[in-house]
């Protein structure tokens, strides 16, 4: 059997270097919130394949559903010969999305594809071209979604030009001094400086910025955005690729807004490790593109549909929405306690189980919020990996550690992971 080092050497020779890799390890097998590398080393997985494993690695019900699907058919292309699991998943997502109006769903394969299609649908419905996204937002790696993404390094650098008619307003961030008023004023500013409101098709916003740093969009902000949208005939798109599928304590994070977006994008944990994504939204908006305007060869694969339907069952059976809330509270409690002895932790924040800590340089025994510490963050993540914990960082300043542990992980395992985090924080600052 090959070692991690041997596989890394083959990877370096064979795989484009633009594909990043957080850790120099290769997986052999994974179950729930643990994985084992090719050398037999065990890791606790707090990354969940970047927010994909809310139901854990290889949930038995998901595996069983996929195995069953494999015995029937694996691919026909929904646009050629349709199949029931696609329709069943669309029905379920329509019922789960907030808003007192009829809904329809389009299924695809990746998060970026969902965002691309949400923009296409919004443009087709409004017959307008402009899109307003937010600073620090992340929407994917295709050219339109890179245009929407509000962070240059490493995503956008060298890949332009990006599609026209995309503008960035400020995302509110109390910790870093951007008020809700300022954020809303920056939207109005775009209407004055860049594009008239009557030509804007949509706002696109993450309920909690994911790659950008786990910053939570305040409810007052999204309500004011909804008001602006209504006043000007603009659609509101919630990009729930990372926040959706139960991560924040509700199936969609926007259920907590009290106002409904017109379109929601979803992906990642929806199918517990199988590639599927979707756009769910107002029926008349979803029906704007003409037949043939939407789709894709693999879009809404029956294998991934079967997995997603099983994930929804698991959420019900194992009461994972309540678990998401309780797990978030547990993590915040423990991380707050760790922060008391670790002044570099300048903030602990959470929406449900979407939890993060933010690390800063320490001045006079306190975090200096003007000095994000990306280097410390990198050292903590690397040290934790050596001790058997997979952590993920994020944030425009690279100084946020995010917690995306499966909701199905036991409290004991999560405790073990947090012990490692604490030991790493101590070790790298000695
Ligand atoms: N939108 C958001 C909010 C995301 O977090 C991501 C992935 N991190 C994407 C879109 C893109 O999803 P994918 O990588 O599946 O294309």
Final residue before a domain boundary, out of 293, 317, 341: 317
Residue 104 is assigned to a structural domain of this protein: yes
Residue 66 is assigned to a structural domain of this protein: no
Residues 40 and 163 in one domain: no
Q: What angle do CA 393, 394, 395 make, to 5 degrees?
A: 140
- Ligand 1: distance of its center to the CA of 3 in Å? 31
Domain span holding position 163: 73-317
Residue 65 is assigned to a structural domain of this protein: no
Neighbours of 72 (CB within 10 A): 10
DSSP 167-210: EEEPPPBGGGTB-HHHHHHHHHHHHHHT--GGGEEEEEE-SB-T
The answer to whether 202 and 126 have CB atoms below 8 angstroms apart is: yes
Beta strands 103-108 and 166-169, pairing class: unpaired
Residue 26 is assigned to a structural domain of this protein: yes
Neighbours of 121 (CB within 10 A): 28
Total tally of structural domains belonging to the chain? 2
CATH of the domain at 415: 3.90.1150.10
Residues 51 and 19 in one domain: yes
- The pLDDT confidence band at residue 24, using thresholds 50, 70 and 90, is very high
Average pLDDT of the residues in 22-29: 97
Residues 312 and 325 in one domain: no
Which of 139, 296, 394, when mutated, tests ligand 1's pocket best, judged by the most ligand atoms within 8 Å of its CB?
A: 139
Tell me the average pLDDT of the chain. 98
Q: What is the pLDDT of residues 106-155, one digit of tens each?
A: 999 999 999 999 999 999 999 999 999 999 999 999 999 999 999 998 99
Give the pLDDT of residue 200.
98
Residues 235 and 352 in one domain: no
Final residue before a domain boundary, out of 317, 342, 363: 317
CATH of the domain at 94: 3.40.640.10
Residue 63 is assigned to a structural domain of this protein: no
Q: What is the pLDDT of residues 317-340, one digit of tens each?
A: 999 999 999 999 999 999 999 999
Q: What is the pLDDT of residues 169-184, one digit of tens each?
A: 999 999 999 999 999 9
| CA proximity to 386, closest of 331, 427, 353 | 427
The answer to whether 90 and 107 have CB atoms below 8 angstroms apart is: yes
Residues 47 and 167 in one domain: no
Residues 283 and 210 in one domain: yes
Atom of ligand 1 nearest to the CA of 243: 3
240 lines ligand 1 (CB under 6 A): no
Residues 335 and 423 in one domain: yes
356 lines ligand 1 (CB under 6 A): no
Give the pLDDT of residue 20.
94
Give the pLDDT of residue 1.
72
pTM of the model: 0.98
Give the CA count within 13 Å in the CB-facing half-sphere of 328: 20
Q: What angle do CA 232, 236, 240 make, to 5 degrees?
A: 170
Give the pLDDT of residue 430.
81
The answer to whether 209 and 176 have CB atoms below 8 angstroms apart is: no
Q: What is the pLDDT of residues 350-384, one digit of tens each?
A: 999 999 999 999 999 999 999 999 999 999 999 99
278 lines ligand 1 (CB under 6 A): no
Residue 86 is assigned to a structural domain of this protein: yes
- Ligand 1: distance of its center to the CA of 153 in Å? 16
Give the pLDDT of residue 163.
97
Average pLDDT of the residues in 401-426: 98
Q: What is the pLDDT of residues 197-231, one digit of tens each?
A: 999 999 999 999 999 999 999 999 999 999 999 99
Give the pLDDT of residue 125.
98
- Ligand 1: distance of its center to the CA of 425 in Å? 29
110 lines ligand 1 (CB under 6 A): yes
| CA proximity to 356, closest of 384, 335, 340 | 335
* Residue 163 CB partners (closer than 8 Å, separation 6+): 143, 144, 147
Residues 165 and 296 in one domain: yes
Residues 209 and 220 in one domain: yes
Average pLDDT of the residues in 268-297: 98
Q: What is the pLDDT of residues 67-113, one digit of tens each?
A: 999 999 999 999 999 999 999 999 999 999 999 999 999 999 999 99
Q: What is the pLDDT of residues 286-298, one digit of tens each?
A: 999 999 999 999 9
112 lines ligand 1 (CB under 6 A): yes
Residue 364 is assigned to a structural domain of this protein: yes
Residue 68 is assigned to a structural domain of this protein: no
Average pLDDT of the residues in 313-319: 98
| Residue 322 burial class via C-beta count within 10 angstroms: exposed 0-12, middle 13-18, buried 19 and up | exposed
| CA proximity to 132, closest of 202, 32, 44, 217 | 202
């Amino acid at each position: 059997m090959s070692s991690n080092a041997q596989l890394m050497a083959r990877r370096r020779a064979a795989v484009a270097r633009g594909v990043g890799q957080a850790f120099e390890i290769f997986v052999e097998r994974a179950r729930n919130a643990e994985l084992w590398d090719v050398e037999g080393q065990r890791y606790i997985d707090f990354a969940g394949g970047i927010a994909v494993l809310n139901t854990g690695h290889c949930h038995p019900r998901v595996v069983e559903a996929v195995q069953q699907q494999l015995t029937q058919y694996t691919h026909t292309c929904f646009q050629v010969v349709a199949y029931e699991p696609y329709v069943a998943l669309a029905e379920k997502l329509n019922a789960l999305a907030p808003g007192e109006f009829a809904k329809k769903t389009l299924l695809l394969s990746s998060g970026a594809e969902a965002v691309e299609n949400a923009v296409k649908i919004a443009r087709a419905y409004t017959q307008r071209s402009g899109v307003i996204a937010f600073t620090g937002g992340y929407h994917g790696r295709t050219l339109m979604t890179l245009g929407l993404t509000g962070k240059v390094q490493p995503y956008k650098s060298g890949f332009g030009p990006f599609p026209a008619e995309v503008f960035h307003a400020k995302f509110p961030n109390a910790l870093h001094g951007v008020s809700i008023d300022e954020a809303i004023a920056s939207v109005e500013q775009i209407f004055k400086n860049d594009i008239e409101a009557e030509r804007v098709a949509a706002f696109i916003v993450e309920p909690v910025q994911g790659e950008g740093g786990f910053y939570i969009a305040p409810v007052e902000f999204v309500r004011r955005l909804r008001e602006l949208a209504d006043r000007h005939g603009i659609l509101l798109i919630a990009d729930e690729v990372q926040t959706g599928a139960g991560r924040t304590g509700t199936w969609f994070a926007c259920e907590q807004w009290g106002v409904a977006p017109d379109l929601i994008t979803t992906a990642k944990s929806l199918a517990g490790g199988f590639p599927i994504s979707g756009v769910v939204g107002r029926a008349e908006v979803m029906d704007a593109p003409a037949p043939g305007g939407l789709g894709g060869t693999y879009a809404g694969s029956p294998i991934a549909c079967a997995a997603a339907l099983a994930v929804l069952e698991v959420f019900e059976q194992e009461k994972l929405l309540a678990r998401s809330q309780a797990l978030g509270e547990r993590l915040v409690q423990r991380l707050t306690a760790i922060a008391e002895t670790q002044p570099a932790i300048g903030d602990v924040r959470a929406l449900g189980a979407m939890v993060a800590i933010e690390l800063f340089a320490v001045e006079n025994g306190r975090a200096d919020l003007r000095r994000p510490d990306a280097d410390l963050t990198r050292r903590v993540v690397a040290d934790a990996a050596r001790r058997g914990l997979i952590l993920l960082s994020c944030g425009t300043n690279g100084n946020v550690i995010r917690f995306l542990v499966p909701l199905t992980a036991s409290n004991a395992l999560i405790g073990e992971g947090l012990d490692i985090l604490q030991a790493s924080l101590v070790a790298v600052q000695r």
